[in-house]
Structure 1
Amino acid sequence: MELEAEFTSEPFQGEGEPPAHALKARDAADKAGLTTDFGPLGTTVRGDADALLGALSGIARAAIDGGAIRLTLQLRRTDAPAAAPVELNSALDRLIGEVEREVGGKLAGLDRASKQRAVRILKERGAFTQKKSVATIAEALGVTRFTVYNYLNRETG
């Protein structure tokens, strides 16, 4: 079984280089042989359940030793069923539905590159100007808000 973990370490920094605690946590994940997606608001790692679970204490230790005052972690099975379908009754829901039809499937079932494309399309269509859009889009994608922010940052960074 494969797992995915998303973690953030605080304190956050604004512009510029990532904080040492975030870099050290990322390096610990890389050293454990996990697939790592490092972003400005969080890091996603994927791998075999035993490898990932075995690496979590080292990742947490690296972040804390690097100066983190808080580490937030979310785990999920990559084979877990997608969230309940989004009902198409608001402008945002309609935009999500349009993008799903355009990309040929539910957003939660897409691979990472396709999810990033979907976020780019949603941004171009103004989806992120709506209240609570990031949370709604994250739910439709089957990812956390931090991942959506990471996808958005790739477009501007």
Structure 2
Amino acid sequence: MELEAEFTSEPFRGEGEPPAHAVRAHEAAAEAGLHTDFGPLGTSARGDADRLLDALPSIARAALDGGATRFTLRLHSGTEPRPAGATGSPSSVLDGLIREVESELGAALAELDRPGKQRAVRLLEERGAFQLRKSAALVAEALGVTRFTVYNYLNRETP
């Protein structure tokens, strides 16, 4: 079975070179023989379940040794879970969930103010949107924010 891990490490910087903790975590995943996708706000690593699970401690340690104060991890199996009652392709399901939330909030996600965007992310999470593969990037695009911002909203405690 194949697994995918999406991980972010903090603190983040806005522009410029990625922080050392992010680079070191990415390097640890690559050294473990995992297929990686390194982005400015997070990294995904895919591979055989045993290989990936065995590599997670060294990836986390590399981030922490590189100065990370927080390491957030999401694991996905090869079979993607779907929101209850969802039909169609994952992207069409996500598009439908986004349209539903936009209708409920009365505006396109990108037009919402920050509290509105945070509420939209909470609503999407409640409806299972983030169970879909690559959803954080697609939601970020719809909101007009970075994937990192979406992860921050997801990790934020609900008021």
- Give the TM bin, normalised by the shorter chain: 0.5 to 0.7
Change (3 A) 1:47 1:128: farther
Matching of residues 125-140 of structure 1 within 5 Å: 126-130=108-112, 131=116, 132-134=119-121, 136=124, 139=129
Q: Structure 2: any 5+ residue segments left out of the alignment? A: 100-107, 148-159
* 1:37-82 CA-partner distances (Å, limit 9, x unpaired): 1122211111110010011011011111111111111112121332
Task: Tell whether the 8 Å contact from 1:7 to 1:44 is kept in structure 2 after alignment.
Answer: yes
**RMSD value over aligned CA atoms?**
3.4
What TM-score does the superposition give when structure 2 sets the normalisation length? 0.63
Residues 139-148 or 26-35, more deviating: 139-148
What TM-score does the superposition give when structure 1 sets the normalisation length? 0.63
Distance, in Å, in 2 between the alignment partners of 1:52 and 1:16 is: 29
Matched letter for residue 129 of structure 1 = E
Change (3 A) 1:54 1:140: closer
Question: What percent of counterpart residues are identical?
Answer: 50
In structure 1, what is the equivalent of residue 90 of structure 2? Answer: 106
After superposing on structure 2, the runs of 4+ consecutive aligned residues of structure 1 that deviate more than 2 Å are 83-86, 126-138, 143-154
Q: Structure 1: any 5+ residue segments left out of the alignment? A: 87-99, 110-114
* 1:83-142 CA-partner distances (Å, limit 9, x unpaired): 2246xxxxxxxxxxxxx9xxx733278xxxxx9xx7xxx9xxx54334344552881671
Matching of residues 56-135 of structure 1 within 5 Å: 56-85=56-85, 105-107=89-91, 126-130=108-112, 131=116, 132-134=119-121
Tell me how many residue pairs correspond in the alignment: 126
Task: Tell whether the 8 Å contact from 2:80 to 2:131 is kept in structure 1 after alignment.
Answer: no
Residues 72-81 or 42-51, more deviating: 72-81
